[in-house]
Amino acid sequence: MLSHVPDQPVQHSGASSSRDGDAGAPSPGVRVPVRVPGSAPDITIPLSLLPSDGRFGSGPSKVRPDAVDALAAVARSYMGTSHRQAGVRSIVGRLRAGLRSLFSLPDDYEIVLGNGGTTVFWDAAVFGLIERKSQHLSFGEFSSKFASAVAAAPHLDAPDVIDAPPGTHPLPAAREGVDVYALTHNETSTGVMMDVRRPDGAAPESLVAVDATSGAGGLRVDPEEFDCYYFAPQKCFGADGGLWVALCSPAAVERIERISASDRWIPASIDLKTALDNSRLDQTYNTPALATLFLLATQVDWMLEGGGLEFAAGRCDHSAENLYGWAEASSYATPFVAKPDERSRVVGTIDLDPAVDAGTVCQVLRANGVVDTDSYRKLGRNQLRIAMFPAIEPEDIIALTRCIDFVADALS
């Protein structure tokens, strides 16, 4: 055994990319962590059952080894250079062109980038996208946070919030006075996804803003159904955090420019007009994390080389079939989301029978190098939460389910 750095995932030595890597059992060169005494039941999962890569976190997500290798290859000339010079601006330009192609955006849509993640974008939208009143669908931890940010803003009307219990999602309802309908493509905390559609009967001038943080790049979407589709790169796009990206329709751009020209005070660091102006120059207003930009652009290139959004979403579909098919056939595991068409294809939540403690299962998996399968802490269920982002091999989901079965049997 090799010495262990805490939370070391199982990984082939010299592992290939998740697009064309070997999805079979780990080779004798796989790194296996040394178990810390008392940290978990002393259960060793056979090497033949382990996945080729043990990272199943819902964010930060697995980063493809090939993407890390590509970054290392250019690090001496790229890292530590000015983000306003050609070396970095060419990466931003490549990224924006790639996203336009990946999402089949109409020619008049614009791609805007800013520093910070989705939480920062919510603050930016509070100042620069919502005119007076927004409607929010709240069905989990993250979909509720945007509504909370709006409710705290003294210059906006109280938001119209439509709630649904965790494990389900509500539907938007056209309401007078609403100028932004805030939807969530995928609720990361509960594993619920919903189709992105404009609300029937909504005023033509109202905007549809979609939080796609964990859905973008892994779920299909029609650009005609949204005005602002925003996300961060640490989920389906296999990069680090610290950046937000927004795909904006002409109506959203017009709204951003009109609010910016009004007498509303907007902090410069979260001014959407400032972000728009800089994005048109293939740069960000503040210094960005260059590694994040590069990894994001590389992941988009990988998706396009594989066949675009359909390729990426197809991998997620395959993983979801493997996960939910196993749970439905299991004697002790059940999909948390009851309706099959609402079960996320990118973040799966699986309830376990009370006789099988999910926390202990996660501890044993982690001790064997299979990491970040814990449920969302505030949901408080005996549950596993498993990412199925495009970079994760669908065959590794099968391997994971076999590991869970092995652990559950050993604990019984």
Closest CA to 84 of 283, 243, 300, 321: 283
pLDDT of residue 40: 79
**Lookup: tokens for 349:** 């939540």
- Report CA-CA distances (Å) from 44 to 5, 36, 92, 210: 18, 12, 45, 43
- Report CA-CA distances (Å) from 78 to 74, 88, 90, 190: 6, 7, 11, 38
pLDDT of residue 19: 31
> Could you give the CA distance from residue 233 to residue 251 in angstroms, rounded to a whole number?
25
Residue 285 sits at φ, ψ, to 5 deg, of -65, -50
Classify domain 67-305 by CATH number: 3.40.640.10
pLDDT of residue 38: 52
Classify domain 47-65+308-411 by CATH number: 3.90.1150.10
120 burial type by CB count under 10 A (0-12 exposed, 13-18 middle, 19+ buried): middle
pLDDT of residue 145: 93
Evaluate whether 342 touches 191 at the Cβ level (below 8 Å): no
Residues of the chain with pLDDT under 70: 1-39
pLDDT of residue 59: 85
pLDDT digits (tens, 9 = 90+) for 161-203: 999 999 999 999 999 999 999 999 999 999 999 999 999 999 9
pLDDT of residue 20: 33
pLDDT of residue 377: 85
Evaluate whether 63 touches 295 at the Cβ level (below 8 Å): yes
